[in-house]
Amino acid sequence: MLGKNLFFVPHVPGLSENIRVLVGARVGALKSALGAFILPPETTMLTAIAVRAAAPKSKNYKLSDAGGLHLYVTTTGHKSWRYKYRFAGQEKQLVFGKYPEIGLSEARERRDEARKHLQQGKDPSLVAKQIKLVRSTASDLTFESFARAWFARAKVQWKAAHADRVLASLEHDVFPAIGKFDMPAINEQIVLATLQKIEKRGAIDTASRMRQRISAIFTFAKAMGACSSDPAASLGIVLQRVPKSARRPALVTIAELQELMRCIEHAGASPITKAASRFLALTAQRPGMIRKLRWQHIKGVDWQDADCSIAEAVWHVPAAEMKQEFDMRQDEAFDHIVPLAPQAVDVLRAIRPLTGTSPYAFPSARSFNDPSSENAIGYLYNREGYQKKHCPHGWRSSFSTIMNERFATQIKTDEAKAFNQLVIDLMLAHIPSGVSKTERIYNRAAYMDRRREIAMEWADLLLAGLPAARTLLDGPHRRYKD
């Protein structure tokens, strides 16, 4: 600009000399004569030299850059970067910070970021306030900081063992790579490189799970205003495809299972581990539930009177220890009731003199205050030659397959077959799809008489010709005491 109503016309090749001398004409006349050849005044760009040389005057003033950015200079010489924009029909202004702490290039980057927010329908001033609030409540804006904050909120919905695995995986595979990066600085390429490093060691499934966790952390940080996107969201199509998990090996004939039990119960192993294996086989519950079975959860058994009735003996598993949704684990209405056959009670009676002072029926060999190792039974099976043939979790498949096939040949009507299949699913704590939570509460104790009949029939089949539970105590063992 050369004056209030004057406009500068740059040299343009091919433009006649007569037009170029119209420098002193009014802006309106020049626009009419020159059209697209005129450089609009709002595109005038500041230079670093001009910013540095800007001196205080008798009044506050501003030096305009492009796109609404300007340098505001006060009478005292204080300089600050400001961005003028319109949002929802109102003119607004956002202060980026003072010069020289923020240079011209950084000020332009902040202006461009603010314009992106405008294009997304967001008010840049509100976004800035969100980031300021996040900075005031967080020690930093690094990925690790937000990951730990996300974990602290998420872990209350998980079981302790799963929470430990999640945190350990982040500490091992992610924090060393991107933990110290600020959230906005992490893009898709950085996340992909981190995940592909995991893939290179053959951990395809781990890489897939880590992508999901990183995505959850970015979603959490995005909600807090620390970043504007989730760079992990679309990387699933780039990562290697997770191979289908192999089915857990399981024997599915009574003869094979009886041979397995004879082999295991004659092995040189802890009697507590062998007793846990037999109890697992009889109840067909998840191995994790067996190792954490507490004496206080066995109901309907008088431990002082060996001749008392055990017709109502049950294992009452708290909802918190079940594999189910978080809100269900917090509600005792979703406890799992396991009717115990006499043979299952015999196992507990046999080991009670050994472990009765422990809170757990099958405690750890190292400490009676801890449950047994999660791998104890599995290692025993592998050691005795059953690796890839039968695993602890396989008892559930064995029970379901054998009993469903048995009823299929015994029962004639489809309705009766479907009923027994439902009962078997309830015994295994399977949740049929489409069943409401109200129905699940009812099912907790539904058909208990039929459940008990099936449990007793299974026990009779499985233990036919096998010795009593007390023989499991033969061999070296330790008595757990207070």
pLDDT at 322: 57
Domain ranges in the chain with CATH number 1.10.150.130: 143-237
pLDDT range class, residue 5, cuts 50, 70, 90: very low
Tokens 């933990």 found at? 179
Residue 464 has pLDDT above 70, yes or no: yes
Q: Do 98 and 134 touch, CB atoms closer than 8 A?
A: no
Residue 321 has pLDDT above 80, yes or no: no
Instruction: Produce one character per residue of 420-441: b if its CB has 16 or more CB atoms within 10 Å, e if not.
Output: bbbbbebbbbebeeeeeeeebe
pLDDT at 33: 41
What is the signed CA dihedral for 13, 18, 21, 26, rounded to 10 degrees? -110
Q: Does domain 48-137 have CATH number 3.40.190.10?
A: no
Higher pLDDT, 17 or 451: 451
pTM for this entry: 0.57
Q: Report d(CA 336, CA 428) in Å as an integer.
A: 9
Q: Report d(CA 291, CA 238) in Å as an integer.
A: 40
∠ CA 363-369-374, rounded to 5°? 45
Do you find a cis peptide bond into 371, omega within 30 degrees of 0?
no
Residues 6 or more apart whose CB falls under 8 angstroms from that of 439 comprise none
Domain ranges in the chain with CATH number 1.10.443.10: 254-473
Q: Report d(CA 459, CA 344) in Å as an integer.
A: 8
Domain ranges in the chain with CATH number 3.30.160.390: 48-137
pLDDT tens track for 166-223 = 999 999 999 999 999 988 889 999 999 999 999 998 888 899 999 999 999 999 988 8
pLDDT tens track for 239-270 = 988 777 667 889 999 999 999 999 999 998 99
Name which of 159-163, 173-177, 185-189, 275-279 the model is least confident about.
Answer: 159-163
Mean pLDDT of 53-74: 92
Count the Cβ atoms, other than its own, within 10 Å of residue 404.
Answer: 14
Mean pLDDT (the chain, rounded): 82
Q: Do 234 and 327 touch, CB atoms closer than 8 A?
A: no
- CATH class of this structure's domain 254-473: mainly alpha
Q: Report d(CA 201, CA 213) in Å as an integer.
A: 19
pLDDT at 414: 82
Mean pLDDT of 38-60: 77
pLDDT at 213: 94
Write down the CATH number for the domain with range 143-237: 1.10.150.130
Residue 23 has pLDDT above 50, yes or no: no
Q: Is 127 helix (H, G, I), strand (E, B) or coil?
A: helix
Higher pLDDT, 112 or 328: 112
Q: Report d(CA 29, CA 472) in Å as an integer.
A: 107
